[in-house]
């Protein structure tokens, strides 16, 4: 089984080594798309942190009711 997995790992690596064509240069990303992505990502992180902070005390109050 170990030889099988080693062969599966070596197969794509050997295929890449046999490829004689030069690699294509990476495409440049659109700066507007990058800015939109960063704004959405930071926005979602801020909203998530705000929701966690807002609900931080609610869980403790419910636990106290169940224990009483």
pLDDT at position 33 is 93
19's tokens? 């490829």
Give the integer Cα–Cα distance in Å for 10 and 2.
12
The band of 57, judged by pLDDT with boundaries at 50, 70 and 90, is confident
Residue of 55 and 11 predicted with greater confidence: 55
Percent of all residues in the chain with a pLDDT value above 90, rounded to a whole number: 35
Any idea which residue has 């636990």 for tokens?
Answer: 63
What percentage of the chain has pLDDT greater than the value 70? 79
pLDDT of amino acid 26: 80
State CA 23 to chain mean position distance.
26
**HSE-up of 18 (CA within 13 Å, CB side)?**
6
Rounded to whole angstroms, how far apart are CA atoms 16 and 68?
Answer: 66
Q: What is the pLDDT of residue 48?
A: 97
Sorted by where each begins, the domain ranges of the chain are 35-68
């Amino acid at each position: 089984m170990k030889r099988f997995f080693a062969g599966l790992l070596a197969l794509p690596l050997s295929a890449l080594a046999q490829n004689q064509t030069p690699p294509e240069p990476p495409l440049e990303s659109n700066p507007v798309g990058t800015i939109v992505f960063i704004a959405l990502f930071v926005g979602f992180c801020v909203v998530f942190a705000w929701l966690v902070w807002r609900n931080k005390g609610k869980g403790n109050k419910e636990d106290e009711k169940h224990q009483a």
